[in-house]
Amino acid sequence: MRKKELTKEEIYRYSRHLLIPEVGIRGQKRLKGAKVLIVGTGGLGSPVSLYLAAAGVGRIGLVDYDLVDESNLQRQIVHSTSTIGVPKVESAKERLLEINPYIEVETYNLLLNRENVMEIIKDYDLIVDGTDNFHTRYLLNDAAYFSGKPLIYGSIFRFDGQVTVFDGKKGPCYRCLYPVPPPPGTVPSCAEGGVFGVLPGVIGALQATEAIKLLLGIGEPLIGKLLLYDALRMEFHTLKIRKDPACPLCGENPSIHELIDYEDFCGREFKPELAEYDLSPKELEELLKRDSPITILDIRNPHEWEICSLPKSIFIPLDELPQRIGELDPTKEYVVICKEGKRSYQALELLLSAGFRVRHLKGGLNAYAKEVNPDFPVY
């Protein structure tokens, strides 16, 4: 970690840090010479990047391949209305340099994978995980372990959050905590399940705290400890987590010695063999115009049904469908719909196995709004 002298302007800017004995001039120089890679510039990456930039971390790398969307702004505070449609890494870079022009921001507008991850992380001191999918989490965990770099993990869902530091040399890794990923589609994303707008701020600030502590070499990092946060009860709990001797990555007899195919390991949500049952939004609209004898089965959650629904559709939430499948008429043909066309694949498989004639709306109601009816609500 390189150290650089502080300018007169930086001394004034960071003066509240310099007054803390545990930081001081020496610590602030360490921050100026530090390099942190943040993967994801969404809910978690927003507060992490803002606070690391404000703290004076000299070089911040941002990895993301998405564009700023209006629905992001409820929680992704590094972006703004003026940057809607802009690549997230560029939107975030602009904001970080507005906060602190004395730092460097490197952007990687790409999808992180096993072909590029080691090259990208090699120049950084530590990695912050701000992602929201399992295959990238396992990828980052393994890459961090092989490169000997700490990984600061955070996750959020609705009102709950988690934070820890994975360091396979000093404590457990992500695989010790979660040996296998959940089946595809069983854990909803924030886009499907929602997230309390301020929750990423809390968890992201905690991740930034751990990053700064590690860079300064102060305090006690969350290695071997999982911090749980419940926003509804305003409660924090800390659980001890231990290195698993049988861990295939960092255990006593590891079986993973290189990066693997993480989409195969985590399971692919889309199954090519089900593509023949896809129905496009425009095809659905044509069937509705012709009064085709199809029945639309909406399998979203009750609070989603209250937001919007298609006329004449019937409603059975996905988690109730196995118990209520007897309510459906096996002589009818069904079109299963959800928000984005992911959960409907699960319902499709269930109904096909039960002998129903069924198709599913590709892309879900959001695709229907985009391609057929722009006045239909998108959420």
From the list 318, 304, 324, 315, the residue with the least C-alpha distance to 349 is: 318
Listed residues 205, 231, 266: the one ending a domain: 266
Is 16 among the domain residues?
Answer: no
Least confident range from 86-95, 198-207, 215-224, 288-297: namely 288-297
- Phi first, then psi: give them for residue 23, nearest 5 degrees: -110, -75
Is 190 among the domain residues?
Answer: yes
Grade residue 176 by pLDDT with cuts at 50, 70 and 90.
very high
Cα(267)–Cα(290) distance, integer angstroms:
38
pLDDT for residue 23 is more than 60: yes
Q: At what angle do helices 88-99 and 45-55 cross, to 10 degrees?
A: 30
3 state SS of 55: helix
pLDDT for residue 327 is more than 90: yes
pLDDT for 186 = 73
224 & 345 share domain: no
Q: Which domain holds residue 313?
A: 272-371
Average pLDDT of the chain, as a whole number:
95
Grade residue 1 by pLDDT with cuts at 50, 70 and 90.
low
246 & 205 share domain: yes
190 & 56 share domain: yes
pLDDT tens, position by position, 236-281: 999 999 999 999 999 999 999 999 999 889 876 666 778 899 999 9
Is 7 among the domain residues?
Answer: no
190 is catalytic: yes
pLDDT for 269 = 63
pLDDT for residue 11 is more than 90: yes
pLDDT tens, position by position, 104-120: 999 999 999 999 999 99
Q: Which entry of 173, 176, 190, 247 is annotated as an active-site residue?
A: 190
Neighbour count for residue 203 (Cβ, 10 Å): 25
171 & 200 share domain: yes
122 & 231 share domain: yes
> What is the residue whose two structure tokens read 């102060």?
218
3 state SS of 296: strand
Q: Which residues contact 364 (CB under 8 A, 6 or more apart)?
A: 337, 338, 339, 340, 341, 342, 344
pLDDT for 250 = 96
Is 4 among the domain residues?
Answer: no
Q: At what angle do helices 24-32 and 199-216 cross, to 10 degrees?
A: 110
Q: Which helix (H) or strand (E) holds 200?
A: helix 199-216
Listed residues 266, 290, 321: the one ending a domain: 266
Is 376 among the domain residues?
Answer: no
Q: CATH code at 288?
A: 3.40.250.10
pLDDT for residue 129 is more than 60: yes
Residue 109 CB burial class (10 angstroms; 0-12, 13-18, ≥19): middle
> What is the residue whose two structure tokens read 């990423």?
200
Is 13 among the domain residues?
Answer: no
Q: Which residues contact 95 (CB under 8 A, 6 or more apart)?
A: 50, 78, 79, 80
pLDDT for 95 = 98
pLDDT for 52 = 98
Q: Which entry of 176, 250, 266, 338 is annotated as an active-site residue?
A: 338
pLDDT more than 70, % of the chain:
98
279 & 247 share domain: no
Cα distances from 11 to residues 17, 54, 102, in angstroms, run 9, 13, 12
Q: Which helix (H) or strand (E) holds 190?
A: helix 190-193
From the list 302, 333, 331, 330, the residue with the least C-alpha distance to 318 is: 302
Cα(245)–Cα(223) distance, integer angstroms:
16
93 & 40 share domain: yes
> What is the residue whose two structure tokens read 């006329």?
311
282 & 245 share domain: no
247 is catalytic: no
Total tally of structural domains belonging to the chain: 2
pLDDT for 266 = 87
pLDDT for 3 = 59
pLDDT for residue 169 is more than 90: no
238 & 298 share domain: no
pLDDT for 140 = 98
pLDDT tens, position by position, 27-45: 999 999 999 999 999 999 9
Listed residues 266, 286, 319: the one ending a domain: 266
pLDDT for 270 = 60
Is 288 among the domain residues?
Answer: yes
294 & 175 share domain: no
